[in-house]
Structure 1
Amino acid sequence: MNAIPATQRLLFTTITILYWTSMYVYVPTLSPYLSDRGFSLPFIGIVLGSYGLVQMFVRFPLGILSDRFGKRKPFILLGMLTAGISCLLFLIPGPWIWPLAGRLMAGVCASTWVAFTVLYASYFGSGQTGRAMGNISVMTVSGQMIGMLLSGWLTDGFSPNAPFTLGAIIAIIGLLLALMLKEPRANQREQPGMSFAMIKNVVRTKTLLQVSLLSILAHGVLFITMFGFTPLKAAEMGANGVKLTLLVFAFMLPHAFASLVTARWFTPRFGYWGTIGAGFFISAVCTAAMAFTGSMEMLVITQAINGFAQGLHMPLLLGLAIRDVEHAGRATAMGLYQALYAVGMFSGPFLAGWLNESWGLNSGFLFGSLLGAAAFILVLVWALSERKSVVKVDGEYAEEAGRS
């Protein structure tokens, strides 16, 4: 592994933050924005969910192509370009097709995240995947938080279109910077990239499949709450742009902190499954509590705790997705992982939108809580199964040692 210049790491960090800022600068005001334009809750759910729908079909092929050609930079450039196009589509006045097209294009943009994660992981040794994913999770949350904090201020101070305008400008700056990005020589392999015959072995990796299922449920919760209908609940309580900004800050800051310290503090003490299980349990409780929250203050508290809880399991799931996969297949594995969790990004808000239309906004939060509880149960089952396997192997080893 060749040493990566500090300037390139700083450049990558800057591009990554701009990437997420451009995509999330309008997220807190998106559902109120669509509601003010007269769109129904089911349609808002479709728009929110379309972001994940595209990723279900695009992320895995992008990962395969990235491994096949051994290149990450072209896909990063594509990500910045589509981020700008997405924001511009929202600015076109007229019927429902334009906001839907804008969110679909944002899904294409988010699909290129496969290349970002694998390129950054290549900056670290094979035993430092958890640390790498923790770092890049902080970049992700930082970019999302900057964008979402700007959203309410732009809407109140200028116009509802201002977040989309700034998002397009940020994306253009990120695209220009990405042109200067250089891939490590380790990525520019002389031998051919991953063959299609090897894909079968990657997709059968047990840990990859387990964490993908958990991530489907985790992203279902996330896109029902903070990235979905939580801002609309706050707006119904009379929250303006400033209060929406406070709500975002309450969620994203603990989320960023947890992402930063999970691999360093919690995993060594409680293990992977223990930390992930705690995150899902707390998240399920907080999401259910949102349905019974009647004040803005309590809503902020639930989001703060929920943000921290989701920061416990998100980076660990990301790291585990590629932990047991060889370097040549990591983009394929990451593409599959991200394509599968996009199912939650689509189905979560889509189903919640219909539930909200029939039984009120709080029914969607209760549904999100059930998703978190289901994930917690799966973690318990797999953790116990893994523990029994270890005990069995140790017992057989001890028996064999006694015979010898």
Structure 2
Amino acid sequence: MNQIPAAQRLLFTVITILYWTSMYVYVPTLSPFLSERGLSLPFIGIVLGSYGFVQMFVRFPLGIMSDRFGKRKPFIILGMLTACLSCLLFLIPGPWLWPLSGRLMAGVCASTWVAFTVLYASFFGAGQTGKAMGNISVMTVSGQMIGMLLSGWLTDGFNANAPFVVGAVIAILGLGLAFMLKEPRSEQKDQPGMSFAMIKNVVRTKTLLQVSLLSILAHGVLFITMFGFTPLKAEELGADGLKLTMLVFAFMLPHAFASLVTARWFTPRFGNWGTIGTGFALSTICTAAMVYGDSFGMLVATQAVNGFAQGLHMPLLLGLAIRDVALPGRATAMGLYQALYAIGMFSGPFLAGWLNDRWGLNGGFLFGSLLGALAFVLVVAWARSEKRVTLNKQIQRKEEIAG
């Protein structure tokens, strides 16, 4: 295990929280902000989905580059820089071009998350990937929660542009701190650079492909609901900035709690597939319940359980993506994983925006529940297949011993 100074770990934690805060400080008010600028529901879906669209094409090559050069810090610096530019683009008055450009730049920013996760995993020894991803998931949720809790308060207390101004300032602060990061020596010298001949082996990793598909569906649900059209649903039910803040808190606090305890409590008792399947089952039920919810209290309840459900499977999927991949190829694997789940971040809100325009917001939420149900079916099928393989191996060993 790398002996990383406590100060560096603390610095990384602060930078990570600032990174996510800057990106999510405007998320709860984004769809209302775009609606007030005169954008239609289908185009709001395009803007929301563009965040994932960029990541589909940027994350994988960025991961390859990071492995090729054995560097993570430059990409973290790039992430903080693009976070600032994203917020500033939203502040430019004018037509749809600038909001779309701002969200596209946010997608570039989010693509650098590959470097964050792999660098943090390198702080831990072999076999501790699950713990590392659980910890960094808590940092992620903490930054997102801080940003999203600030969003409604800034909008109500100042104006609709305030979240973007604060986001830019937070990103600049994070950029300054990022220059103080030091990469572990093994990340820089001891490990060989990723060769292009190794990429083929990484992308064929079975577990990586399985969890990538599940993550596509999980992010489709997430970006249809809390990070997409749930705030518009809340506004339809009469929510103001304060109530939007309450809604965010109801989602993010259980999400953070579940992310913290999943690897420590749920997985040892229920296994990876059991925990992931439970998360998708709960998420499916809560997303479907939003279709029938006719009060703000009901909406808050569904998002609280949904937040907990997301915290059950998100950290596990993240850890499993690089579990079976050697260190020199981890950024490549993480880049592929994050590029693939960006499909859900793009297609989820894009298709939901189209459905919402024709059948109202409930059409999109129903679509989200179907995505969750499909993921649950896949988890059950793969869990049974894995159990059969394990059982066959045990029988074969017994026969070999008996023979």
TM-score by structure 1 length?
Answer: 0.99
**Is the CA contact 2:51–2:106 (under 8 Å) kept in the aligned structure 1?**
yes
Name the structure 2 match of 1:338: 338
Distance 2:142 2:156 in 1: 22
Name the structure 2 match of 1:46: 46
**Is the CA contact 1:69–1:192 (under 8 Å) kept in the aligned structure 2?**
no
Distance 2:272 2:316 in 1: 7
1:398/1:308 Cα in 2 relative to 1: closer, same or farther (>3 Å)?
A: same
Whether 2:113 is the aligned partner of 1:133: answer no
Whether 2:203 is the aligned partner of 1:175: answer no
Per-residue Cα deviation, 1:195-215 (whole angstroms, up to 9, x for no partner): 000000000000000000000
Q: Secondary structure at the match of 1:291?
A: helix
Q: Secondary structure at the match of 2:189?
A: coil
Identity %: 82
> What are the residue-to-residue correspondences of 1:244-393 with 2, within 5 Å?
244-393=244-393
Deviation at 1:138, TM superposition (A): 0.2
Distance 1:144 1:218 in 2: 17
Distance 2:313 2:237 in 1: 30
Name the structure 2 match of 1:236: 236
Whether 2:214 is the aligned partner of 1:214: answer yes
**Is the CA contact 1:53–1:346 (under 8 Å) kept in the aligned structure 2?**
yes
Q: Secondary structure at the match of 2:194?
A: coil
Q: Secondary structure at the match of 1:325?
A: coil
Per-residue Cα deviation, 1:101-130 (whole angstroms, up to 9, x for no partner): 000000000000000000000000111000
Deviates more, 1:388-397 or 1:72-81: 388-397
Paired amino acid for 2:204: R
1:191/1:361 Cα in 2 relative to 1: closer, same or farther (>3 Å)?
A: closer
Distance 1:114 1:370 in 2: 29
Per-residue Cα deviation, 1:39-60 (whole angstroms, up to 9, x for no partner): 1000000000000000000000
Q: What is the aligned-residue RMSD (CA, Å)?
A: 0.6
Paired amino acid for 1:25: V
Name the structure 2 match of 1:122: 122
Per-residue Cα deviation, 1:349-386 (whole angstroms, up to 9, x for no partner): 00000000011110100000000000000000000000
Name the structure 2 match of 1:81: 81
Distance 2:191 2:45 in 1: 45
Name the structure 1 match of 2:31: 31
Distance 1:191 1:5 in 2: 20
Distance 1:298 1:382 in 2: 34
**Is the CA contact 2:2–2:124 (under 8 Å) kept in the aligned structure 1?**
no
Paired amino acid for 2:317: L
Stretches of structure 2 that go unaligned for 5 or more consecutive residues are: none
Distance 1:246 1:377 in 2: 33
Name the structure 1 match of 2:2: 2
Deviation at 1:243, TM superposition (A): 0.2
> What are the residue-to-residue correspondences of 1:95-114 with 2, within 5 Å?
95-114=95-114
Deviation at 1:2, TM superposition (A): 3.1
Distance 2:310 2:21 in 1: 19
Distance 2:192 2:13 in 1: 29
**Is the CA contact 2:2–2:122 (under 8 Å) kept in the aligned structure 1?**
no
Count how many residue pairs are aligned between Structure 1 and Structure 2: 403
Paired amino acid for 1:206: K
Large movers: runs of 4+ above 4 Å: none
Per-residue Cα deviation, 1:57-91 (whole angstroms, up to 9, x for no partner): 00000000000000000000000000000000000
Paired amino acid for 2:73: K
Per-residue Cα deviation, 1:327-367 (whole angstroms, up to 9, x for no partner): 00000000000000000000000000000001111010000
Paired amino acid for 2:285: V
**Is the CA contact 1:50–1:104 (under 8 Å) kept in the aligned structure 2?**
yes
Distance 1:245 1:219 in 2: 22
**Is the CA contact 1:59–1:114 (under 8 Å) kept in the aligned structure 2?**
yes
Whether 2:91 is the aligned partner of 1:91: answer yes
Q: Secondary structure at the match of 1:188?
A: helix
Distance 1:195 1:34 in 2: 44
Distance 2:240 2:359 in 1: 25
**Is the CA contact 1:138–1:259 (under 8 Å) kept in the aligned structure 2?**
yes
1:140/1:226 Cα in 2 relative to 1: closer, same or farther (>3 Å)?
A: same
Paired amino acid for 1:270: F
Paired amino acid for 1:357: D
Distance 2:25 2:179 in 1: 23
